[in-house]
Amino acid sequence: MKATAAEASLGVFDSGVGGLTVVQAITELLPNERVIYLGDTARVPYGNKSPDTVKRFARQDAAFLLGRGVKAIVVACNTATAFALPSLVADISVPVIGVLAPGVETALARTKSGRIGLIGTAGTIGSEAYQKAIRALRPDAHLVARATPLLVPLVEEDWLQHAVTRQVLEEYVRPMLSEGIDTLVLACTHYPLLKPLLAEIAGPDVALVDSATTCAAHLQRCLDMAGLAAPPATSGGIEIFLTDRPAHFESMARRFLKSPIHRIEVVSLPE
């Protein structure tokens, strides 16, 4: 039974293309794992939706992945993690992992001054989930949090190096840098795709903490503890399911994913 479970796929969901950063980090760290990715591209972004709506979307996303027989689910969306993770963990029998806690742990390990910046969707920043988690572990932390709602549409549009994107990032981040932050948490899985631009703007003295790599490392620990890591002989691969098929999705997927994509398919989610 345990060997069969270990050979099953991992399920990952996000509101759109951003979760591919988590998939890439997982496949780099865990090349034997098969991944089923669900991008809810018909309803992107989640960051401007109400908590109840995000919870409903997250339950539908998880139900789809469970229907595919996954052994664990990664909520590769900070907004869904902030609003829906506790109920998903309580209601689902397989391990469910979010992106928030690993990012918080890494940010606290990286910061030297305790001055930490947070950028994310309006939903994630407004939930104060990151702020509460950081202050619970370091009450004296000086947090500079800012909702950055224009970034997800820019990433979804594949404007990763566009002059407009640079201008928007500078408008968002420059005031945070003036407050002396030494660590910037990218509290949205779309944002790691903007790291080259952010690194130029923030400079070498500001550590950029992204949800993707920290989540993948946390997932590896969880799979090992649960005896669910894929056997060494298992061949990895990725299946992608979308609720809508943006014209540029395939080019972005192949740009950021080094593992083979076995298929890309448009699906409807269970109500």
From first to last of its 271 residues, the chain has per-residue pLDDT tens of 344 699 999 999 999 888 998 999 999 999 999 999 999 999 988 988 999 999 999 999 999 999 999 999 999 999 999 999 999 999 999 999 999 999 999 999 999 999 999 999 999 999 999 999 999 999 999 999 999 999 988 988 889 899 999 999 999 999 999 999 999 999 998 898 899 999 999 999 999 998 888 899 999 999 999 999 999 888 888 999 999 988 777 777 877 787 678 788 999 997 7
* Per-residue tokens: 28: 């780099």
Name the catalytic one among 44, 107, 173, 188. Answer: 188
pTM recorded for the entire structure: 0.89
Residue 215, H or E segment? helix 211-226
Catalytic residue flag (residue 222): no
Within 40-163, strands assigned E span 72-75, 96-97, 115-120, 142-147
DSSP state of 194: G
Beta bridge partners of 117: 144, 184
Angle at 191 between CA 176 and CA 92, to 5 degrees: 120
Q: Rounded to whole angstroms, how far apart are CA atoms 167 and 143?
A: 23
Name the catalytic one among 30, 70, 75, 77. Answer: 77
Q: Rounded to whole angstroms, how far apart are CA atoms 261 and 101?
A: 29
Catalytic residue flag (residue 188): yes
